[in-house]
Amino acid sequence: MAKRNGGPVKYAIVGLGHIAQVAVLPAFDHARRNSRVAALVSDDATKRKSLGRKYRIDATFAYDDYETCLQQVDAVYIALPNSMHAEYTIRAANAGVHVLCEKPMAVTVEECESMIEACRQNNVKLMIAYRLHFEEINLKAVDLVRRGRIGEPKFFNSSFSMTVQPGDIRTKKELGGGTLYDIGIYCINASRYLFRAEPKEVMATSVNSGADTFAEIDESTGALLRFEGERVAAFVTSFNASDVASYRIVGTKGQLHVDPAYEYAEGLSYELTVNGKTTRKRIGKRDQFAPELLYFSDCILRNREPEPSGDEGLQDVRIVQALYESAETGKPIEIPPFERAKRPSGRQRITRPGVEKPELVNVQE
């Protein structure tokens, strides 16, 4: 389904939490070629009023008025808690509105499948907001591995941690909290696209020090993924450790170390070491959200199938659920076969300059 009217794609931002305020709303300035924010949706009247004034948006809605909002836009950017992704995606699809949904796609495989089916039945586009699929350093890392610079890739390891404050929605189980849903999904996705393969079996161990903050979720999780081609990915995620966000992939001829690897608030860099010789590349802070908007809007306007697709999001959630099952049972969990969609060439290398952090309204830093 292409866009219903001429001109830029009109978006509603659904959920006005941290990511929406610090990254998504400012990104529209760099995406104005084909994208415009036309509506805001939140149950916080202060956010609606303040952000509506700041971005000159008159159309603001509470969640109870979501269907009214959907009549006025072409697409939605879902920036809600994880547990709300499926409902608000399906409601948008049923109204004929395209969906760009924050990762993780949802909390369960069944929710993901329902989202995909609703979008298919209503002939609307669905894309999962994996911003690193558009980021220059990340794309360069993928290219280096695929061109065989490190030889045959053999193993991947990653560390991703941060200190999460009490009360953060990421610590609420009913909202889809947990380290794997929030940050582990980056490690899973990175290992999959770097190996160009899928895990056959996964294992995990979750630990908790007893802090009240993490009473409902895992504080830290260690994961091991066995891939097709007898390759291994290992990673650790934590909500109670100092900030780190890096990965290393090692092959038969060399290795690639990306650090930082997953951030959007700073520049990214890598070190490539082959036969004892190291080369380095660093790129300063970039707007990683405008490229998503530009690309998705072009898919809508030109009737193209977007990537990362709903199937891509579904596979990561399938792996997250399997890892948590393994952590609970102490047993390895098999992953059913999955066929990766072909990634489009060229169209995803989009760069825009970084944005200054705006003043935030009623959100935790």
Question: What are the CA-CA distances from residue 236 to residues 10, 82, 240, 275, 303 (Å)?
Answer: 39, 21, 12, 28, 39
Does the annotation count 103 as an active-site position? yes
For the stretch 287-340, pLDDT in tens is 999 999 999 999 999 999 999 999 999 999 999 999 999 999 999 999 999 876
- pLDDT-derived band at 342 (thresholds 50, 70, 90) equals low
For the stretch 136-153, pLDDT in tens is 999 999 999 999 999 999
The CA distance from 330 to 12, in Å, is 43
* pLDDT beyond 60 at 92: yes
Among residues 103, 193, 262, 324, which one is catalytic? 103
Predicted local distance difference test score (pLDDT) of residue 351 = 60
Among residues 66, 88, 181, 186, which one is catalytic? 186
- pLDDT-derived band at 56 (thresholds 50, 70, 90) equals very high
Q: Could you tell me the two tokens for 302?
A: 């030109």
* pLDDT beyond 70 at 341: no
Listing DSSP states for 301-340 in one string gives HHT---SS-HHHHHHHHHHHHHHHHHHHHSS-EE----PP
Whether the predicted model's global pTM rises above the 0.85 cut: yes
Q: Average pLDDT, whole number, for the chain? A: 93
- pLDDT-derived band at 126 (thresholds 50, 70, 90) equals very high
Full set of structural domains in the chain with CATH: 9-132+289-307 (3.40.50.720), 136-285+317-334 (3.30.360.10)
The closest alpha carbon to 38, from 65, 17, 10, belongs to 10
Does the annotation count 331 as an active-site position? no
For the stretch 9-44, pLDDT in tens is 999 999 999 999 999 999 999 999 999 999 999 999
At CA 134, angle to CA 23 and CA 238, rounded to 5? 65
The CA distance from 237 to 99, in Å, is 29
